[in-house]
Amino acid sequence: MRSRGGFIGRALAVAVIAALGALAAGPLHAAGFSIFEQGSRAMGMAGAFTAQADDPSLLYHNAGGLAFVTEREISTGLTWITSTEAEFEGADPFPGAGYRAEQEGLSEFPPHLYWVQPLNDTWKFGLGVNAPFGLTTSWENPDEFAGRFLSSKAALRAIDVNPTIGWQITDSFGLGIGAVGRFSDVELNRHVGAVNPFTQRVVNVGRLVLESEFGNAFGWNAGILHKVNNSFSWGLSYRSKIDMDYDGDARLDQISTGNAQFDAAVRAQLPFGVDLPVETNIEFPDQASLGLAFALTQNVLVETDFNWMGWSTFDQVPIEFVGGAGNSLPDTEIPEEWDDANSYRAGLRWTASPTSEWRFGFVFDETPQPEESVSPLLPDADRMGYTIGYGRTGPGLGFDIALMYIDFKERTRGRSFVGEGPFFGTYNTQAALLGVTLNW
């Protein structure tokens, strides 16, 4: 019985360590686990906004636009993110051809809030609060889901506070620079399995709930905007990477298998009902954007943007258990080996009247995730996005609204990192986003 109990303990250690990789996963948008939709006006043009940066969401898209602010403006709103399809079809050897599963419906509301105002003719100030990274993946029928030992639910929240200074160097050239304070936490729910030596079948023996405290870390952003003439402008923006440390606890609750002898052996080997202190780290990527805007007529403007995200620094997730004897598990590192990724955006703005605008856009996002790390924690893929938006201004309150449809390319995993087991199959995902922003 001792050898069986030792096996169970080692199996649990491996399962918990693998599950903690979810601390660094997220589903939407841009590719990876970033959320690029931080203002409904820009969202209506698929985020092609770096060379315009002419509403308060400039604090996210290009701080250089702050230099041209001439009056106090406040914007606040949210983006509703929902999945319209999120399915998995298994492949051999595990979970096997013919196996199917679905994620629970996604419904998240990342907020944004911006305040900009001039200090004088040359210097301007802005303060932004938004959620540029996030995660929610939750699978239906978690007690039976074949991937439940990897993840049944994973969530990540990140809120940025971004004070920024703008400097209007000339009538046509502006510079902005700011500090970024990030506050973030993570949550993971999953099952723990072990081989029942009496039946030789893998069974549920526990549920793991991992929750971190809010961590905080700091970075910076900068941007330039050059309005060359009435027909052409260009912009360049950069946001630094942010290295975030997390402290949290993993807690295990036992699931009865109906076999008292086996349950007792499991209970003797595993630290059920106690907090297991753990530390980990996420290196959020840096990102850069180059935008070119062309006024085709007095009422029609088009912009093209190129975005780069430095995901290659996200090559592994270190996991360190810091509890005492009997209250910890072995330390390890989760391989990720992501690559840098690009996004390509195009948007059109049509000024229908002095107080109303229509916007249209398209974006193609590359995934940074290699095939080996595609899993129920994060089945990322290349995707295309299509947008339409409308805005109205006037005395007092104005508004912007935007709708985006995202079509993820089918993503199949058929190989694993060395030393990892298979969870092979194909993921199909589509999502819709609705953004609403109020301005005054």
What does the pLDDT look like over 108-143, one tens digit per residue? 999 999 999 999 999 999 999 999 998 788 999 999
For CA atoms 322, 324, 329, 331, the dihedral sign is positive
Instruction: Give the Cα separation of 17 and 13 in Å (integer).
Output: 6
Instruction: pLDDT band for 93, please (50, 70, 90 cuts).
Output: very high
Token pair for 412: 């199949």
Q: Is the pLDDT of residue 250 over 90?
A: no
Number of domains in the chain: 1
Reported pTM = 0.88
pLDDT value for 421? 86
Question: Which pLDDT value is given to residue 330?
Answer: 66
Count CB-CB contacts under 10 A for residue 308. 17
For residues 184-190, give the mean pLDDT: 88
Q: Show the CA angle centred on residue 72, arms to residues 68 and 73, nearest 5°.
A: 90
Q: For the domain that residue 384 is a member of, what is the CATH number?
A: 2.40.160.60
CB distance 346 to 304 below 8 Å: yes
What pLDDT does residue 26 have?
39
d(CA 251, CA 189): 10
Residues 6+ apart with CB under 8 A from 158: 131, 132, 133, 134, 182, 183, 184, 284
Q: Give the pLDDT score at 329.
A: 62
Provide the domain limits for residue 37.
Answer: 2-439
Which is more confident, 148 or 5? 148
> Residue 316: its pLDDT value, please?
80
Give every CB contact of residue 180 below 8 A, 6+ residues apart in sequence.
160, 161, 162, 218, 219, 220, 221, 239, 240, 242
- List, for residues 19-60, the tens digit of each pLDDT value: 343 333 334 444 678 999 999 999 999 999 999 999 999 999
Q: Which residues does 362 contact at the CB level (< 8 Å), separation at least 6? A: 46, 345, 346, 347, 384, 385, 386, 387
